[in-house]
């Protein structure tokens, strides 16, 4: 009643007071509308980013299956003493068993110059390959390098019809072969039409790719290349369909701005890019190239992006503003009808409360819908994870099969050589005994490489059991295990203070054992060998460890090949090793969320660095967890071990 009496005393200001209430309410309503609209827009952007990231991860994981399968098959060919049709069929049969979508053929290529062409052709005929080389582009007396198809296996119903063809006539093939030979690693070609598809009608042709992997010989030379031919649309159409899942239009191109070779559409009507359409572009690393991924989605299909919550709340605030303005105006201008107006205002207030309750019910319903959509998306992610686990299981089965098929002939070779050495040594001349010894040593080295290949392929799928690791004790234990390698030598170990770290003790021990073992191995030529181990904690919760020696060192020009499988910077006759140790160590460090690198000077020694999370650092542990969730993407080059 005091407020009513005050309004009556200032009746001349009634209109001004009502106007002020209306202005304040309008400003508040418009402000709330803007804030909530921005919140919906940001929600849409975050959800779109998450969907595109999931699509990118699916494409990258699928591409990695093809890269890993080709690399392992090339390693299997490289382990053969002589590549023959039977050996090629055995190794590529495991690739065929994977049933990779879009994979067209696996072929083996060999290089020959114009001068060496007859001898190379005769050698392959000796191995049982009925092939006639068809050199292209060489005039009379002109010497140039040719690359011929000598072995092939079709991975689809279409037979391989290019046996003996010179692939250097195809610019894309020539470029990818040169690049893979220079990098000594797997390389991906630019898109082109396969030689076997060029006779098809234009509407049936599609852009295709090849993965090229150089196949080395035992002394570090080049035997040839293993190529996996893949048709682009068939390669990725299934992955894009799963990634789009009826909500994303996705296109995949070989480079930003290039024509798409694979796409998935939700079949919705086309829209111009604007407020209702979300657009994202990103790149996907595949071998040594990057594919361009372009995705679009209707804002209305993104959960939480088109709830109309902003309009509903703004409308409620405007309604409340109208009620308050009317209430003030009535109190100030209708003295004789004050009681009736008060009753009407109370009724309006109750109506406003009912509207707010309805709004709350609407919000509750929309929240339940959002939870249901999130649960649906969770089920989809779990299904994708199950597919990835199945793919990993297939890859592990493939690795085991390759290892098993290679071990059987190895055991036979070693067994017969041992029988010859034990039972017939007296009938062999010195040269014969040396040959038998070389056969047994070669079989032992190949067995070690098979074991290393299996360890490398299985390490990524081993579960990690993190706990505090005392690095000083670990270094002492490993050094004692290396006592046999130090017999008859003077090797000094200098151990600086080493902080404890958080990690899997088995895996961290493997890293330390590999680096210390390399340091002992590569200091053999020193009268007094010196190995130093130290560690420095950083502000980011990471500890940087180093293992330094005064041994052979290496040329830093080749440091980018240092951590790649089956790549070595030293000859096997000088320093033994499988070519897998440093690659496996790099995988372990990456799984712990760290990184590994090296510095060296030829003839003066090398220093290897790696980082691990401090056992007292919560930030470091979080960093490790994030690294475990991310796929390891580096192709680390040449291994010293």
Report pLDDT digits (tens) over 539-567. Answer: 888 999 999 999 888 888 877 778 877 66
Burial degree of 151 (CB within 10 A; 0-12, 13-18, 19+): buried
- The yes-or-no verdict on residue 417 having pLDDT over 70 is yes
Residue 385: the pLDDT is: 74
Residue 635: the pLDDT is: 37
Work out the average pLDDT over 247-274: 75
Burial degree of 524 (CB within 10 A; 0-12, 13-18, 19+): middle
Work out the average pLDDT over 29-57: 77
Residue 210 forms part of a structural domain: yes
C-alpha dihedral sign at 623, 628, 631, 634: positive
Q: Which residues neighbour 572 within 8 Å (Cβ) at sequence distance 6 or greater?
A: 218, 219, 445
- The yes-or-no verdict on residue 630 having pLDDT over 70 is no
Burial degree of 555 (CB within 10 A; 0-12, 13-18, 19+): exposed
Task: Report CA 477 to chain centroid distance, whole Å.
Answer: 34
Residue 151 forms part of a structural domain: yes
Strand partners, 134: 165
Say if CB 215 and CB 228 are below 8 A apart: no
Work out the average pLDDT over 87-109: 91
Work out the average pLDDT over 630-639: 40
Q: Which of 405 and 629 is assigned the larger pLDDT?
A: 405
Burial degree of 5 (CB within 10 A; 0-12, 13-18, 19+): exposed
Say if CB 513 and CB 478 are below 8 A apart: yes
- The yes-or-no verdict on residue 278 having pLDDT over 60 is yes
Q: Which two tokens stand for residue 107?
A: 């072929």
Residue 402: the pLDDT is: 65
Residue 607: the pLDDT is: 94
> For 125-184, how does the pLDDT look when each residue is reduced to its tens digit (9 = 90+)?
999 999 999 998 755 445 578 999 999 999 988 888 889 999 999 999 999 999 999 999
C-alpha dihedral sign at 145, 151, 157, 162: positive
Residue 410: the pLDDT is: 74
Q: How many of the other CB atoms lie within 10 Å of CB of 570?
A: 16
- 322, 338, 354 — which closes off a domain? 338
Contacts 24+ apart (CB under 8 A), 73-78: 73/106, 73/213, 73/226, 73/228, 73/402, 74/186, 74/213, 74/214, 74/215, 74/226, 75/453, 75/565, 75/566, 76/402, 76/406, 77/108, 77/215, 77/223, 77/226, 78/215, 78/216, 78/217, 78/223, 78/566
> CATH no. for residue 324?
3.30.450.350
Place of tokens 């009724």: 347
- The yes-or-no verdict on residue 15 having pLDDT over 70 is no
- 338, 371, 386 — which closes off a domain? 338
Contacts 24+ apart (CB under 8 A), 197-201: 197/231
Say if CB 151 and CB 129 are below 8 A apart: yes
- The yes-or-no verdict on residue 569 having pLDDT over 80 is no
Highest mean pLDDT among 51-55, 462-466, 575-579, 613-617: 51-55
C-alpha dihedral sign at 470, 476, 480, 483: positive
Rounded to whole angstroms, how far apart are CA atoms 173 and 148? 11
Q: Which of 107 and 399 is assigned the larger pLDDT?
A: 107
| Residue 603, domain extent | 462-629
Q: How confident is the model at residue 381 (pLDDT cuts 50, 70, 90)?
A: confident
Q: Which two tokens stand for residue 504?
A: 């899997």
Residues 334 and 469 in one domain: no
- The yes-or-no verdict on residue 454 having pLDDT over 70 is no
Residue 269: the pLDDT is: 55
Rounded to whole angstroms, how far apart are CA atoms 68 and 362? 51
Residue 398 forms part of a structural domain: no
Residues 331 and 466 in one domain: no
DSSP 432-499: HHHHHHHHHHHHHHHHHHHHHHHHHHHHTTSPP--EEE-HHHHHHHHHHHGGGGGTTSEEEEEE----
Say if CB 227 and CB 69 are below 8 A apart: no
Residue 452: the pLDDT is: 62
- The yes-or-no verdict on residue 639 having pLDDT over 50 is no
Rounded to whole angstroms, how far apart are CA atoms 208 and 585? 35
- The yes-or-no verdict on residue 305 having pLDDT over 90 is no
Residue 619: the pLDDT is: 45
Q: How confident is the model at residue 434 (pLDDT cuts 50, 70, 90)?
A: confident
- The yes-or-no verdict on residue 306 having pLDDT over 60 is no
> What separation, in Å, do the N-terminal and C-terminal C-alpha atoms of the chain show?
93
> For 309-336, how does the pLDDT look when each residue is reduced to its tens digit (9 = 90+)?
556 776 777 787 788 777 666 666 665 5
Rounded to whole angstroms, how far apart are CA atoms 284 and 253? 10
Residue 93 forms part of a structural domain: yes
Residue 73 forms part of a structural domain: yes
Q: What angle do CA 111, 116, 122 make, to 5 degrees?
A: 85
- The yes-or-no verdict on residue 511 having pLDDT over 50 is yes
- The closest of 129, 168, 176, 130 to 148, measured between CA atoms, is 168
Q: Which of 18 and 380 is assigned the larger pLDDT?
A: 380
Work out the average pLDDT over 290-304: 80
> CATH no. for residue 556?
3.30.565.10
Instruction: Kindly report the pTM of this predicted structure.
Output: 0.45
Residue 356 forms part of a structural domain: no
Rounded to whole angstroms, how far apart are CA atoms 462 and 464? 6
Rounded to whole angstroms, how far apart are CA atoms 475 and 234? 51
- The yes-or-no verdict on residue 307 having pLDDT over 80 is no
Q: What angle do CA 227, 232, 237 make, to 5 degrees?
A: 135
Say if CB 468 and CB 476 are below 8 A apart: no
- The yes-or-no verdict on residue 223 having pLDDT over 80 is yes
Maximum C-alpha span of the chain:
135
- The yes-or-no verdict on residue 621 having pLDDT over 70 is no
- The yes-or-no verdict on residue 426 having pLDDT over 80 is no
Residue 416: the pLDDT is: 76
Residue 383: the pLDDT is: 83
Residue 416 forms part of a structural domain: no
Residue 460: the pLDDT is: 60
- The yes-or-no verdict on residue 11 having pLDDT over 60 is no
Residue 30: the pLDDT is: 73
- 312, 338, 364 — which closes off a domain? 338
Rounded to whole angstroms, how far apart are CA atoms 163 and 160? 7
Distances (CA, A) of 428 to 182, 365, 433, 434: 44, 90, 6, 9
Residue 631: the pLDDT is: 43
Q: How confident is the model at residue 530 (pLDDT cuts 50, 70, 90)?
A: very high
Q: How many of the other CB atoms lie within 10 Å of CB of 340?
A: 11
Residue 185: the pLDDT is: 92
C-alpha dihedral sign at 635, 295, 233, 164: negative
If one counts the domains in the chain, the total is 2
Residue 361 forms part of a structural domain: no
Mean pLDDT rounded to a whole number for the chain: 80
C-alpha dihedral sign at 472, 477, 479, 480: positive
Rounded to whole angstroms, how far apart are CA atoms 623 and 271? 41
């Amino acid at each position: 009643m005091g407020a009513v009496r005050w309004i009556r005393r200032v009746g001349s200001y009634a209109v001004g007071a009502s106007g002020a209430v209306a202005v304040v309410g309008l400003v508040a309503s418009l402000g709330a509308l803007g804030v909530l609209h921005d919140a919906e827009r940001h929600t849409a952007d975050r959800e779109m980013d998450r969907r595109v990231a999931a699509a990118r991860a699916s494409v990258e994981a699928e591409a990695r299956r093809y890269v890993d399968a080709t690399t392992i098959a090339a390693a299997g060919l490289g382990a053969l003493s002589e590549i023959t049709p039977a050996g090629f069929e055995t190794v590529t049969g495991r690739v065929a068993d994977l049933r990779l979508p879009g994979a067209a053929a696996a072929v083996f290529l060999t290089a020959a110059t114009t001068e060496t062409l007859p001898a190379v052709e005769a050698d392959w005929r000796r191995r049982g390959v009925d092939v006639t080389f068809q050199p292209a582009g060489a005039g009379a007396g002109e010497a140039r390098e040719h690359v011929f198809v000598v072995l092939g296996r079709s991975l689809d119903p279409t037979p391989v019809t290019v046996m003996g063809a010179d692939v250097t006539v195809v610019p894309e093939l020539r470029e990818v072969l040169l690049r893979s030979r220079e990098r000594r690693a797997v390389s991906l070609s630019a898109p082109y039409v396969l030689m076997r598809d060029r006779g098809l009608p234009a509407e049936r042709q599609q852009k295709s790719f090849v993965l090229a992997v150089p196949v080395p010989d035992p002394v570090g030379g080049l035997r040839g290349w293993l190529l996996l031919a893949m048709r682009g649309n068939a390669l990725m159409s299934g992955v894009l369909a799963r990634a789009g899942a009826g909500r994303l239009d996705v296109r995949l191109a070989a480079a930003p701005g290039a024509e798409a070779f694979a796409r998935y559409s939700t079949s919705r009507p086309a829209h111009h890019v604007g407020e209702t359409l979300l657009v994202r572009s990103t790149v996907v690393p595949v071998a040594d190239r990057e594919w361009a991924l372009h995705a679009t989605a209707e804002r209305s299909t993104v959960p939480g992006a088109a709830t109309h919550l902003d309009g509903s709340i703004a409308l409620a605030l405007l309604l409340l503003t109208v009620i308050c303005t009317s209430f003030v105006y009535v109190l100030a201008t209708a003295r004789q009808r004050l009681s009736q107006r008060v009753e009407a205002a109370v009724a309006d207030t109750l109506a406003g409360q009912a509207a707010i309750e309805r709004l709350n019910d609407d919000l509750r319903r929309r929240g339940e819908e959002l939870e249901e959509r999130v649960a649906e998306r969770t089920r989809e992610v779990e299904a994708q994870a199950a597919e990835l686990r199945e793919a990993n299981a297939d890859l592990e089965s493939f690795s085991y099969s390759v290892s098993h098929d290679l071990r059987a002939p190895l055991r036979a070779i070693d067994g017969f050589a041992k029988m010859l050495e034990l039972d017939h040594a007296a009938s062999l001349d010195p040269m014969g005994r040396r040959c038998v010894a070389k056969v047994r040593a070669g079989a032992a080295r190949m067995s070690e490489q098979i074991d290393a290949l299996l360890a490398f392929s299985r390490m990524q799928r081993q579960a990690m059991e993190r706990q505090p690791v005392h690095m000083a004790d670990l270094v002492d234990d490993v050094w004692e295990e290396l006592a046999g390698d130090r017999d008859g030598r003077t090797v000094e170990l200098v151990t600086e203070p080493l902080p404890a770290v958080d990690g899997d003790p088995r895996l961290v021990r493997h890293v330390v054992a590999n680096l210390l073992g390399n340091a002992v191995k590569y200091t053999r030529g020193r009268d007094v060998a010196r190995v130093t181990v130290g560690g420095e904690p950083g502000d980011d919760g990471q500890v940087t460890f180093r293992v330094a020696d005064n041994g052979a060192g290496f040329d830093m020009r080749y440091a980018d090949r240092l951590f790649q499988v089956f790549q070595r910077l030293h000859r096997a006759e000088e320093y033994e090793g499988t070519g897998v140790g440093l690659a496996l160590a790099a995988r372990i460090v990456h799984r712990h969320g760290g990184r590994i690198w090296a510095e060296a000077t030829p003839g003066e020694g090398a220093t290897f660095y790696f980082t691990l999370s401090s056992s007292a650092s919560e930030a470091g542990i979080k960093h490790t967890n994030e690294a475990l969730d991310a796929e390891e993407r580096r192709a680390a080059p040449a291994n010293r071990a």
